[in-house]
Structure 1
Amino acid sequence: MEESSYSNLSTSHLLGSVPAVVNEENKPSYEVPEANMQIFPPNNGSGGGGARGYQTLEAPTEEFEQQPPNNWKGVFSISSYTQYFNVDTDVVIYRLICSFYPNTGDFFSKIDANPDLYGLIWITTTLVFMLASFGNFATFLMQKHTDSTSSWSFDVGYINAAASGIYGYAFVVPMAFYFLLQYLGSNSNLVRFWCMWGYSLSIFIPTAFLLVIPIEILRWIIILVAGTASSCFVALNLRTYIEGTNDLTVMVVAAFLLQMALAIFIKAWFFA
């Protein structure tokens, strides 16, 4: 009895009940809007032809790629200097090789897109330790050659002399040329000068190996050849950089003589 009474209850008012079947004749009629395909401008690339299609995104031009980003955020911000260390091993090796060919005079054009300070710091630091260590070693060989019984001690002063001479030259001399050219009305860039002068010192790194040879006349020949190559690299690139402005030949000659003076300083102080 109870089950039959429950089955007679009306369920039309309950939520979730199954809706009645609607007759297909009473269905509301509506039309699906027709999709219109938008035709993009024709692609004039290498696809050729007059056929229409999607335009492809072209690669940026070479002039745009060569412009270095301006990320300067202040002198005391480390992120301001990261753009000058954005080089990989292949770039540094390529610039090192270019510094051994002084007759081209196009080093500034090769570093124009991305002048770096990594080469300056790495080359000068390596050269400081090379001069201090091999200078002491050359002194040891000369002393043992003249008097094998005398004692020998490492001269720590070589490190101070090498650091003062190499770091001072690599940072102060390009800065002096930069301010002098600015005063004379010629365009100059301090970072590019630091980069060029830094790579010009790379030839003295293998030269330090050869200067260990305990033959004085051979040492002078080696240092004069290396100094001439480094001086020509600086002078020719500086002449190309300031070419077309004023007659600044005296600046080129001064750069050549200063580079030769550094070479003689290396020989006279560390390999005497």
Structure 2
Amino acid sequence: MEESSYSNLSTSHLLGSVPAVTNEEKKASYDVPEANMQIFPPNNGSGGGRGRGYQTLEAPTEEFEQQPPNNWSGVFSISSYTQYFNVDTDVVIYRLISSFYPVTGDFFSKIDANPDLYGLIWITTTLVFMLASFGNWATYLMQKHSDGTTSWSFDVGYINAAAVGIYGYAVVVPMSFKFLLQYLGSNASLVRFWCMWGYSFSIFIPTALLLLIPVEILRWIIILIAGSASSCFVALNLKSYIEGANDLKMMVVAAFLLQMALAIFIKVWFFP
């Protein structure tokens, strides 16, 4: 009897005792927030049932990248001209190679999205120094071939003649054609003309190296071939640019003759 009475005593007040779990505590529940899952629509692009469940960002379309730059801030602002030097090495090399194939006549379509002036400055400057140095060297070789006692001398006047002739032609001739075509009612872009004429000089760079051969008849053959290629490049591209204007065909002939005159000037003045 005594043992049963002791077992019925409440022990919740004793130290270290664990209270029994009540029914209310058992019934308590915690609301778990539902996961907010987003279901992306399937990719409806090409590929049929292999489309992924989400869409990724794609590169801008070619039409967007080919929009011509329009960041002109004034004639005396440097930022106005940076857009015409926004080309990398691959683009310049591609345009250089295109200038060695004059029969295509599609150079303006290749530069329409991004005409550059980098080629004009780089090619003309390289040609100026090559004509000045190789012209002096060729003169020495020709004199050495006829007179073994000839000593080497550098004529500084070759630099002045090359700079005036090449830079002047590269700037004045395209500008003249631009304003003349505009006067005759045909649309013309001065930057595109500068770009096209600048790359037309590229064939004269390896030609200057070949003109070191001290054989006069071979020099004339080399310069006439190079001049014809450069002239055809200018004439055919200019023809495609003003296609449809029959009264402007004389402009094409004039461009061809001027380019041939430049080739003859290079031969006569620097490689006599």
TM-score band by shorter chain is: 0.7 to 0.9
Deviates more, 1:34-43 or 1:212-221: 34-43
- Number of the residue aligned with 2:266: 266
Give the count of matched residue pairs. 250
- Number of the residue aligned with 2:143: 143
- Number of the residue aligned with 2:178: 178
User: For each residue in 1:52-98, what CA deviation from the matched residue of structure 2 results, as whole angstroms up to 9, or x when unmatched?
Assistant: 95454444332222113322111111111111111111111111111
User: For each residue in 1:186-215, what CA deviation from the matched residue of structure 2 results, as whole angstroms up to 9, or x when unmatched?
Assistant: 111111111110010000001101111111
Q: Under a length normalisation based on structure 1, what TM-score does the superposition of the two structures give?
A: 0.82
- Number of the residue aligned with 2:99: 99
- Number of the residue aligned with 1:244: 244
- Number of the residue aligned with 1:12: none
- Number of the residue aligned with 2:215: 215
TM-aligned CA deviation for residue 144 of structure 1? 1.6
Q: Within 2, Cα distance between the matches of 1:113 and 1:120? A: 17
SS of 2:221 mapped into structure 1: helix
- Alpha carbons 1:231, 1:260 under 8 Å: kept: yes
Q: Which amino acid in 2 is paired with 1:93?
A: I
Unaligned 5+ runs, structure 2: 1-22
Q: Which amino acid in 1 is paired with 2:84?
A: Y
Q: Which amino acid in 2 is paired with 1:77?
A: S
Q: Within 1, Cα distance between the matches of 2:101 and 2:166? A: 22
Report the aligned-residue RMSD.
2.6
User: For each residue in 1:116-173, what CA deviation from the matched residue of structure 2 results, as whole angstroms up to 9, or x when unmatched?
Assistant: 1111101000000000001101111111222222444211100000000000001111
Q: Within 2, Cα distance between the matches of 1:68 and 1:180? A: 24
Q: How does 1:115-194 map to 2 (within 5 A)?
A: 115-194=115-194
TM-aligned CA deviation for residue 240 of structure 1? 0.7
**Identity over aligned pairs, percent:** 88
SS of 2:73 mapped into structure 1: coil
- Number of the residue aligned with 2:256: 256
Cα 1:32–1:52, aligned 2, differ >3 Å: closer, same or farther? farther
Q: Which amino acid in 2 is paired with 1:112?
A: D
Q: Which amino acid in 1 is paired with 2:67?
A: Q
Cα 1:185–1:41, aligned 2, differ >3 Å: closer, same or farther? farther
- Alpha carbons 1:41, 1:52 under 8 Å: kept: no
Q: Within 2, Cα distance between the matches of 1:233 and 1:250? A: 16
Q: Which amino acid in 2 is paired with 1:207?
A: T
Deviates more, 1:106-115 or 1:49-58: 49-58
- Alpha carbons 2:234, 2:256 under 8 Å: kept: yes
TM-aligned CA deviation for residue 32 of structure 1? 8.7
Unaligned 5+ runs, structure 1: 1-23
Cα 1:127–1:51, aligned 2, differ >3 Å: closer, same or farther? closer
Q: Within 2, Cα distance between the matches of 1:107 and 1:260? A: 19
Q: Which has the larger Rg?
A: 2
Q: Within 1, Cα distance between the matches of 2:80 and 2:88? A: 18
- Alpha carbons 2:44, 2:51 under 8 Å: kept: no
Cα 1:64–1:223, aligned 2, differ >3 Å: closer, same or farther? same
Q: Within 1, Cα distance between the matches of 2:196 and 2:69? A: 20
